[in-house]
Copies of this chain bind each other. A is one copy, B any other.
Amino acid sequence: MEVTNKYVTLKTHVEGAPKESDFELKTSLLALSLDLGSGEMILNRMKRYSSSQRTGPGFEGITLGMEIEAYGVAKVVVSDNVEFQKGDVVVGVITWAEYSKIRRNKMIRKLDPLGFPFSYHVGILGYSGLTAYAGFFEICKPKRGEKVLVSAASGSVGNLVGQYAKLHGCYVVGCAGSKQKSFFLRLFLSIDRYFPDGIDIYFDNVGAEMQEAAVANMNTFGRVAVCGVIPEYIDSEKKAAPDVLDVIYKRIKIQGFLAGDHVGLFQDFVSTTSNHLHSGELCPLEDISDGLDSIPFAFTGLFRGDNIGKKIVKIAEE
């Protein structure tokens, strides 16, 4: 049996922010059969994650004209992998396509929805959530009452860091959107207003001179978590150059991280976050588009700052 498979490819390697015209929607026929012993699976995508991870663990580089990998929820259509049966709902690294052919050993696991919508599992209960959770609790090691600054605070990770920080009893200031840069410039001038007691933790989603401003206003033993799930916020031309004497005398830690290194926290993260969701203390912030065709616009929108919360594209109904 064959199906028509629509997928999104990259036409050209992107310099700077990607444009919709960099992408192309392709269609091919896909045989719903696999070589015996191949360990492969074919998945039917249901939801997908917003951004491609170029160098994260489990992800591969993008080849022009080929399908693009991303995090999503899908249903198994055909499987030669004994761990997965037809009809299983899975979550992990699939592709920007209606159907994904998945090799053995790819980062895919069966999904127990825990009573929540699938969209939660690509956002607040997925990689974005783990990024916020691991970055805030593991990298920043917050203490109750500490003062926390979050950049890109309306983004998929930033909004969750802000919520976790408040639940943890921290004082939180978030900044986002077009006013973000002016906020950071003002930090030098009006630290007394936003942080009369200085900053203890900066959850850095943007890099550049904003990291400098945060470090300059930090307290002794301040921590900067440099977040690796949304590099699209980061202008790689502009570099962060915090004052070295600040770093030394305030014993500041600046730590890059990827959530993939903290999968050991996953069970703890899911149970804590589920409980907060059930009690209504945590609120998912989702921005959902419809249909595979909307991917290029949705993806490039991340660079325009279009999204509020987690950008998700819904490809098919359950």
Contacts and interface: CB of A to CB of B under 8 A. Distances in A.
Interface of A: 55-56, 207-208, 211-212, 226-228, 231, 234, 236, 239-258, 261
A300 to B, nearest CB: 19
B251 A253 contact: no
Contacts of A55: 249
A252 to B, nearest CB: 5
A279 to B, nearest CB: 33
A254 B251 contact: no
Given A55-B249, A249-B55, A253-B253, A244 B226 contact: yes
Count the copies: 2
A203 to B, nearest CB: 13
Which of A227, A246, A248, A261 has most chain B Cβ within 10 Å? Answer: A248
Given A228-B249, A254-B255, A241 B244 contact: no
Chain A at the B interface: mostly helix, strand, loop or mixed?
Answer: mixed
A207 B245 CA distance: 9
A57 to B, nearest CB: 10
A226 B252 CA distance: 9
A258 to B, nearest CB: 6
Given A207-B244, A253-B253, A253-B254, 12 more contacts: A56-B249, A211-B244, A226-B244, A226-B247, A236-B244, A241-B241, A246-B256, A247-B254, A250-B256, A251-B257, A251-B261, A252-B255
A256 B249 CA distance: 7
A205 to B, nearest CB: 10
B241 A239 contact: yes
A252 B55 CA distance: 15
Which of A228, A243, A253, A256 has most chain B Cβ within 10 Å? Answer: A256
Given A239-B242, A241-B240, A241-B241, A256 B261 contact: no
